[in-house]
Structure 1
Amino acid sequence: MAAALADRRLRHRHGADRISELPNDLLHQILHRVTSTPAAALTRVLSRRWRRLWADLTELRLDSVLAPVPGIGTDDGALDACCVPTVTRLSVFLDHLPPWDSGLSADRVAPWLRFASWRVAGDLCILLPPAATGGAVVVEEDLRLPVCERVTEITLWLGYRFRLRMPAAGMFAVLTYVNIRDARMDSRELEEFVSCGCPRLEELAVRLPPFLTESVVCIRSDSLRRLDFHIKNTRRLEVAAPGLERLSMSNADKAYITAPELGEIAWEDDTFKPLRHQFTETGRHLRRLVLTLSSTTAELLQRFDTVDQLIVDILIPHIHTCGFGGGRWLQELLGECGHASLL
């Protein structure tokens, strides 16, 4: 009672606090626009009215692991204080920080994933800074991804810190988008995750160092529409996706693609080793083809009769040593394309 009386006297002395008199829905919209949950938590000092407002936010953005916030401690304190049963977005944005190793063990990151598995019905995004290793791959320990039944999008950029272990069982029932970078994975676990655990997955993007185990992976999915596959030293990639429309890939020695709806390909390999790849049950026409001008280019183009748009990344020192006639071959190629753009 005394605190409430003091608040009224303060408002009387300095004028009415009209912002605090707004409905909770409007105040939550104001706090959402702050974009940082720890920063929003600082509003708790404004008055008793604001003390718990930030804890009812349904979108959490954590970006101050290195800078504890007065009143809540670290980002873990913000998650512990969250009062709503369902969060539509959890983002941990640390990729803007310089390379940093202290405090980012699996025990530090795992609670964020567990919180997502319990409370998030929407997007999960964790972006970590790179490990301070000068670019070398240094694996610290296992980081397990729990089953997230209500998460629709997962983005994990892990800075070459962890072996990401996928759940042995369980269904990501509404997951449609996955983007994983800079973490080691087991090829079999990736297979099971995509082919058995994600019945509604539409987009998969993986850009990783070499697999932990045998570098052979088979992806089967009836729902997949776009695949970006860039995992170093992949010995063989098999894809069976009847709805696949866009494929971007590199680093696979062999590729076997079954995708009758395939219309766009981005082939990023610029190596000169002979690649072996087969496109079965695919059409002979592409809407868009992006590739590097290398010894593999001619072989790839033989798989298709027409291309509406061709984008070629030309490596100038190699254009006369590619073994297929250099500029003359390129001119003949462009003459058969509906549209071509050279980048």
Structure 2
Amino acid sequence: MDDHVETEHGGGCGGGGRDRLSGLPEDLIHGILLRLGSLPAAARTSGLSRRWRHVWATLPELDLVGPLHPDPGPQPISSFLRAVDAALAAYTAPTLAHLAIAMPEPPPLRPNGSGFVPFHVPGPRVSSWLRFAAARVDELELPPCGTAKEMALFLEGFVLRLRPAGLFADLTILTIHSAAMDGPELAAFVSAMCPRLTDLTLRDIAIVRCFDARHDASIRSASLRRLDVSHKRVFCLAVSAAPMLETFVASSLVQARVSGAPKLAVAELHRLHRHHFGEDVPRRLRRLDVSQCFVTEVAPPRERRFDHVDELRLSALIGMQGYNNFLDDANNLPMCETLSVQLTGDHHGLVPTMLHLLRRRDGIKKLVLETCPKMANPCSLACSCRLPGSNNVDNISLDSLEEIEINWFTGADDQVELLKVLTSRCSTTKVTSLEINKSNAGPSPSEDVLEKMFSFCRQNLRIRFHVLSDGMVAVLLL
């Protein structure tokens, strides 16, 4: 800045003339202060003129990057935190285009240790900074934090910028909720800036710039073991070159193409037909969770993606017109040893629905029925669940079945009928455990129901009846 600035008449620079610094336009003063590149330096210009005394507190950009103290050398973290609080408290403009808060370099261990003393920023302090940003900023930039091992960000619609600014060398777990992000920035952040990231959760995110014409975002990581993505709108995700990925969760309206994941063992998927898995993804999984909606008769195009899973968890909403769609889709589900089923919708019969799931799965060892819906709004008499043969058990073999678990048991006729069918098709040489769980909020099975259960239970069948009451579990052995 020019050392020969003229001042007149009692300006902040002394002298007897007019204060010409005070006469500069505010946008020009902002430009000068921003060029200083330091908030402390901008604040120290207050001594130049009365007009400049508080101009720094209206700057459109705040870069609070440690150290924020005029003295050279490392500053204690407490000094930095107080300086940040003071700067935010003094800021007076209603809006802010850019805010960056970055921790100073931590001091080395003493006396002769290697490494650094980790900084700890109290949660309430960070919350106050975010409240300040929420009132003035639409865009937040994630500052580098090389020592953080776990981060969780709940941003309520902010744009989160992930510009290359240094390594997150120790970060292993990252959760981001309710944020808008740039697709290429997200890809670069995960692949290049987080070399130890093992667990990534992205919930209710929006992409402001797509990765390419086919995908909103792309994930490549040599370290990632678990990826969990959900979105409120259709979100297209590509996952490739993830050699350590073991668990993939895609809920809500996510569409995914997964390849380069030879260790994938667990998949939790909403609407299986939305996702494509490459030939280099295993055809056998440890667990597959599938949530499907069958509302219309028109079935979406699908292909068999997995041949066998140790445990298959199926959550199915079957609408009035969706039963045939359900029948087609069930035929494409993989073979399994444990089958857990949660049925919703009150249009179709429990027995024919369950028999269809079991008809092509003769290797099941354990069956878990999570819900037992009743036909409160019955489908038409022409529905496939009511046709002759829908209750046929001649082509069903359950010789491998050893355990049956039924939750929310009420003792309704269709539940008892299903139990009768299941126990009749079990091997007579295997000891089968039947576990029935009911809530104390519902009616208990009557004596007639218990007598029916006794009538078709073999001698080697162990029945455990659990009643849930005030958090306690009472066990009745029949």
Letter in 2 for 1:328: E
**1:229-240 equivalence runs, <5 A:** 229-233=314-318, 234-236=326-328, 237-238=330-331
Check conservation: 1:113, 1:146, Cα contact below 8 A.
Answer: no
Change (3 A) 1:10 1:314: closer
Higher relative contact order (CA 8 A, sep 6+): 1
Check conservation: 2:265, 2:285, Cα contact below 8 A.
Answer: yes
Q: Deviations over 1:195-240 (max 9, x none)?
A: 9953342210012323785179785755510100123232241378
Check conservation: 2:197, 2:224, Cα contact below 8 A.
Answer: yes
Change (3 A) 1:106 1:119: farther
**Per-residue deviation at 1:117?**
3.6
The SS at the match of 1:298 is: helix
**Could you tell me how far apart the structure 2 residues matched to 1:330 and 1:289 are?**
14
Check conservation: 1:106, 1:142, Cα contact below 8 A.
Answer: no
Equivalence for 2:248: 154
Equivalence for 2:224: 121
Letter in 2 for 1:312: I
Change (3 A) 1:311 1:199: same
Is 2:210 aligned against 1:88? Answer: no
Equivalence for 1:226: 311
The SS at the match of 1:175 is: coil
Change (3 A) 1:218 1:52: closer
Check conservation: 2:262, 2:280, Cα contact below 8 A.
Answer: no
Equivalence for 2:206: 104
**Could you tell me how far apart the structure 1 residues matched to 2:406 and 2:303 are?**
23
Identity of aligned residues (%): 8
Normalised TM-score (structure 2): 0.46
Equivalence for 1:42: none
The gaps in structure 2 that reach 5 residues or longer are 1-65, 80-105, 120-144, 156-164, 319-325, 344-352, 376-384, 468-478
Would you identify which runs of 4 or more consecutive aligned residues in structure 1 move more than 6 Å? 24-29, 73-76, 105-113, 215-218
Equivalence for 2:73: 8
Check conservation: 2:226, 2:247, Cα contact below 8 A.
Answer: yes
Letter in 2 for 1:286: E
Change (3 A) 1:88 1:179: same
**Per-residue deviation at 1:250?**
4.0
Q: 2:453 aligns with which of 325, 330, 335?
A: 330
**Per-residue deviation at 1:317?**
6.0
Change (3 A) 1:185 1:239: closer
**Could you tell me how far apart the structure 2 residues matched to 1:106 and 1:332 are?**
64
**Per-residue deviation at 1:330?**
2.8
Q: Deviations over 1:72-129 (max 9, x none)?
A: x9898676455245632222255xxxxxxxx73696799998442455531111245x
**Per-residue deviation at 1:298?**
2.6
**1:5-44 equivalence runs, <5 A:** 7-8=72-73, 10=75, 17-18=107-108, 22-23=114-115, 31-32=148-149, 34-36=150-152
Aligned residue pairs total 287
Change (3 A) 1:200 1:58: farther
Check conservation: 1:117, 1:147, Cα contact below 8 A.
Answer: yes
Check conservation: 1:310, 1:342, Cα contact below 8 A.
Answer: no
Is 2:290 aligned against 1:174? Answer: no
**Could you tell me how far apart the structure 2 residues matched to 1:221 and 1:84 are?**
31
**Could you tell me how far apart the structure 1 residues matched to 2:316 and 2:279 are?**
18
**Per-residue deviation at 1:177?**
0.4
Letter in 2 for 1:17: P
**Could you tell me how far apart the structure 1 residues matched to 2:295 and 2:282 are?**
20
**Per-residue deviation at 1:300?**
3.0
**Per-residue deviation at 1:264?**
1.2
The SS at the match of 1:56 is: coil
Equivalence for 1:137: none
Is 2:443 aligned against 1:340? Answer: no
Equivalence for 1:207: 291
Equivalence for 1:264: 366
Change (3 A) 1:325 1:221: farther
Letter in 2 for 1:329: K
Q: 1:143 aligns with which of 209, 212, 236?
A: 236
Q: CA RMSD in A?
A: 5.0
The SS at the match of 1:235 is: helix
Normalised TM-score (structure 1): 0.60
Change (3 A) 1:84 1:172: closer
Check conservation: 2:201, 2:229, Cα contact below 8 A.
Answer: yes
**Could you tell me how far apart the structure 1 residues matched to 2:281 and 2:334 are?**
15
Letter in 1 for 2:405: L
The SS at the match of 1:330 is: helix
Change (3 A) 1:62 1:23: same
Check conservation: 2:182, 2:208, Cα contact below 8 A.
Answer: no
**Could you tell me how far apart the structure 2 residues matched to 1:288 and 1:334 are?**
13
